[in-house]
A and B are shown apart, each in its own frame.
Chain A
Amino acid sequence: MKKYLPLIIFTVLLAVPFIGFSTYIMHILILVLMWSVIGMAWNILGGYTGQVSFGHAAFFGVGAYTAGILYQHLGISAWWGLPASIVVLTALSLVIGYICLRLRGAYFALATLALGEICRVTAENLVDFTRGNLGILIKERTWVDKTWYFYIILFIAAVTYSIIKIVMESKLGYYFVAIREDQDAAESLGIDTTFYKTISLCLSGILTGTAGAFYMNYMGYIDPGVVFPLYDISIVTVMVVMVGGAATYGGPVIGAVIMVFLAEVIRSLPHIGAAHQTIFGIILIFIIMFLPNGIAGDYLKLFKIFRKHNRASS
């Protein structure tokens, strides 16, 4: 049963557009899928390989800008951004990997944190190229209806999930986890840790960039503050994975569902809606304290808590 669960979820999602949900619900579902992709992508590097990044907005934003700039300067469809972002993100990941992956632990995390901010400031200032804070607007949207956007991001999510599944059950996956558990031991067992960390970063970067390119097409407007922010992208990415469960297949998807719905619910509340980041922060602290492996990793613990609670109340 557990083996077929992803396939069942995928099939159900395929049928969703026929149910006739409102545009708003479809929008939420699209966001959930997009965050699942970003979470799964981050998970390759941060969850399995153990290299925690606080700068995934850089990959997301560069993916989005790849699509946007193709449209803006070459006048071709922003959908070309999807394949183009693979090339651009590979190049970017190689450069970043070369510089940052010689750092370990907290130093790597700090370097990536800086990276996201560097990208934002660069995009703000390269006005001729990126239109700076004016942002890039796609004047003619591909579809008014959400259906095809939904199917496209569903397809990207399914491909991402499959890639991760295949990778993690191969030599690469074993090497990623070996590096996470003990880099020196991995090195002395014949694993070229720098090389495999770079591969992990490239995979993670490319998949995140694809989500970014999709975002450009879907939202039709980007500016540096929207696609490169530390809080709304980089930190939320980490939270999606931490809440759902790092280094699990389903974790990022669960995390994406929770975070997107939570964000919507909190934003709609009167008075405290503006404080949604504060609330996110408090949730993160509780998750780290009580469910350090996230919901997918610690669900047994969750069951236990609920059972105890039920027994107490009955």
Chain B
Amino acid sequence: MNLIEVKNVSKRFGGLAALSEVTFELKQKEILGLIGPNGAGKTTMFNVINGFYPPSSGEVHLRGRKISNRKPHQVCKLGVARTFQVVRPLQRMSVLDNVIASAFMRAATKAQAEEVALEVLKFSNLHDDRETISKGLPLGKRKRLEIARALATLPEIILLDESFAGLNPTEINEQIEIVNKIRSERGITILIIEHHMKVIMSISDRIVVLNYGRKIAEGIPSEIGRSPTVIEAYLGEEHRA
């Protein structure tokens, strides 16, 4: 079943077409990788799905319901959570308070919100840091806090924007484990943007490739790795053997 359908979505900023006629589906419980060189339109795609930008044309559907033109908080209530490429924790709040703030979206009382928050923090290995002020967290943990906050809204779909960028190998392995657990234990569907090729190839079920705002390829990781168009987009024409 298709959870999210992106139908012919274009987004123009003045004369610049950040996305043109992009179409793809996100199936239930899959991990779909979204890759492409810098400026390919990946984050813009997230911003359209998540409701920050209305698409210039085309539509985004969630379980057959149109969600483009809805506001981010409404999209979140419908079960789509996201993280940001530049980590944006609520700086002057403790880790726990950060997660409580997002757990309040579904929780009726503070006790309930706290319960959800603590559970999510355990899940993302941040339980021991719960009293730390978020500003002081190292990058690896801040990236996990981003994920924890998204999870606390109890989403069905989570959009991860470069959750691996800037991490060291140990942190990357830990993060891969968490992303896999998000699907296997919580049954959440994942759409992920990532530059780290090894990571994306190993965790994605399918991959969509964008370049200059157009979808240039879609398929399982092994196909994408061999696709001449993808290699060309990443490495330039001369490298074609």
Contact = CB atoms under 8 A, between A and B. Distances in A.
B72 A187 contact: yes
Contacts of B110: 169-171
Contacts of A190: 73, 76-77, 81, 102, 105, 153
Nearest to A181: B90
A209 to B, nearest CB: 29
A175 B100 CA distance: 10
B92 interface: yes
B101 A175 contact: yes
Interface string B103-114: 011000010010
B105 A174 contact: no
Contacts of B89: 181, 185
A184 B153 CA distance: 15
By Cβ-Cβ distance, the 10 closest A-B pairs, closest first, are A190-B76, A181-B90, A190-B105, A185-B88, A189-B102, A174-B101, A187-B72, A171-B104, A178-B101, A188-B72
A188 B161 CA distance: 13
Contacts of B52: 184, 187-188
Interface in A165-187: 169-171, 174-175, 177-178, 181-182, 184-187
A88 interface: no
A174 B73 CA distance: 15
B50 A189 contact: no
Given A171-B104, A174-B104, A190-B153, 7 more contacts: A169-B110, A184-B84, A186-B90, A189-B150, A189-B153, A191-B73, A192-B71
A187 B90 contact: no
A63 B88 CA distance: 39
> How big is chain A's contact interface, by range?
10 to 19
19 contacts: A171-B104, A171-B110, A177-B92, A177-B93, A181-B89, A181-B92, A182-B90, A185-B90, A187-B52, A187-B72, A188-B73, A188-B82, A188-B84, A189-B101, A190-B81, A190-B102, A190-B153, A191-B105, A192-B71
Contacts of B105: 189-191
Given A174-B97, A181-B91, A181-B93, A188 B104 contact: no
Nearest to B78: A190
Contacts of B101: 174-175, 177-178, 186, 189, 191
A189 B149 contact: yes
A208 interface: no
Nearest to A182: B88
Contacts of A191: 73, 101, 105
B90 A192 contact: no
Interface of A: 169-171, 174-175, 177-178, 181-182, 184-193
Contact of B90 (A169, A178, A188, A193): A178
Contacts of B97: 174, 177
Contacts of B81: 188-190
A170 B104 CA distance: 9
Interface residues of B, number: 29
A187 B84 contact: no
Nearest to A185: B88
Interface in B80-137: 81-82, 84, 88-93, 97, 100-102, 104-105, 110, 113
A184 B105 CA distance: 15
Nearest to B100: A174
Nearest to B106: A190
Interface string B46-82: 0000111000000000000000000111101100011
B77 A177 contact: no
A193 B97 CA distance: 18
A309 B90 CA distance: 36
Contacts of A170: 110
Interface string B167-198: 00000000000000000000000000000000
Contacts of A188: 50-52, 72-73, 76, 81-82, 84
Contacts of B88: 182, 184-185
Contacts of A178: 90, 93, 101-102
Contacts of A184: 52, 72, 84, 88
A18 to B, nearest CB: 40
A171 B77 contact: no
A214 to B, nearest CB: 33
B73 A175 contact: no
Nearest to B105: A190
B76 A189 contact: yes
Best-buried of A182, A186, A188 by chain B (most CB within 10 Å): A188
A184 B76 CA distance: 12
A175 B51 CA distance: 19
B73 A171 contact: no
Best-buried of A170, A185, A187, A192 by chain B (most CB within 10 Å): A185
B54 to A, nearest CB: 14
A64 B138 CA distance: 51
Nearest to B152: A189
A193 B73 contact: yes
B90 A177 contact: yes
B71 A187 contact: yes
A285 B72 CA distance: 39
